[in-house]
Structure 1
Amino acid sequence: MTDELAVLGIECYGHHGVFEFEKREGQVFVIDLVLGIDTAPAAASDDLQDTVDYGSLVASVKAAVEKDPVDLIETLAQRIADVCLLGDRVEWARVTVHKPDAPIDATFSDVALTITRKGRP
């Protein structure tokens, strides 16, 4: 059985989007992470080395969002999933990218894309 570690509501500022003004001005993106990991080794040892250091992971995710602009949140979500799956302990990663200020000519509360990717076997 896989346990789940969640870090929700990570606010980042990025310059992603199809439109030039999105790349120029940037906007807030909110990231939710859910990672499939086996927490039993860490529970037994009480040692950070036996689990995912979510502080370091969040710093890496923020860096991934805040670098090199892309057009699509699909591309950004894959980039973030790739970062999450770098850890050997991560079996799978579910990444949600929220783009609450997407340029849509309507009243809405959020645009969100969720992807799930498996790690190495």
Structure 2
Amino acid sequence: MDDIDEITLTGVRAFGRHGVYAEERERGQDFVVDATLFLQTARAAASDDVADTIHYGEAAERIAEIVAGEPVNLLETLAERIAHDLLGRGAVERVAVTVHKPQAPIPVPFADVSVTVRRSRPSGAAESGVRR
């Protein structure tokens, strides 16, 4: 088995209008996303060239765009959209995406609520090249 490495983005914050309740859609709130991308980075380490890996700044921007984009009811749906997008980034083989909703409408004191999804590129899917 080939070595697999990780690139992790923690605390990507963006404003979105996701939620089951109309008030959540109207007012909106901040969402926080953690994403771990699993890929082989040996080629990038040898070449010292960002073209041989994932540009994590651009991945973070894309996460923020998805959070700020079309509203969904569930954190599960939002996490799935982010995971699917990240898996489309060339060398990424697997992802773990956690979406936090710290201002969720929960009637008791709480620190955070989150949903984590773990997804893999379908076996046999051809790598479409490294995207930066």
Residues 60-80 of structure 1: CA distance to partner in whole angstroms, max 9, x if unpaired? 111111011000000000000
TM-score (norm 2): 0.90
Which amino acid is the alignment partner of residue 42 of structure 2?
Answer: A
TM-score (norm 1): 0.98
Q: Which residue of 2 aligns with 1:43?
A: 45
Q: Which residue of 1 aligns with 2:54?
A: 52
Q: Percent identity?
A: 45
- SS of the aligned residue for 1:64 comes to helix
Q: Which runs of 4+ in 1 moved over 2 A?
A: none
Q: Which residue of 2 aligns with 1:61?
A: 63
CA offset at residue 56 of structure 1?
A: 0.7
Q: Which runs of 5+ in 2 are unaligned?
A: 124-132
CA offset at residue 4 of structure 1?
A: 0.8
Q: Which runs of 5+ in 1 are unaligned?
A: none
Residues 73-103 of structure 1: CA distance to partner in whole angstroms, max 9, x if unpaired? 0000000001111112000010000000000
Alignment of 1:22-101 (within 5 A): 22-101=24-103
Q: Does 1:114 align with 2:116?
A: yes
> Distance between the aligned counterparts of 1:89 and 1:120, measured in 2?
13
RMSD over aligned CA atoms reads: 0.7
Alignment length (residue pairs): 121
Residues 17-47 of structure 1: CA distance to partner in whole angstroms, max 9, x if unpaired? 0000000000010000001010100000000
Q: Does 1:103 align with 2:91?
A: no
Q: Which residue of 2 aligns with 1:10?
A: 12
Which amino acid is the alignment partner of residue 111 of structure 2?
Answer: S
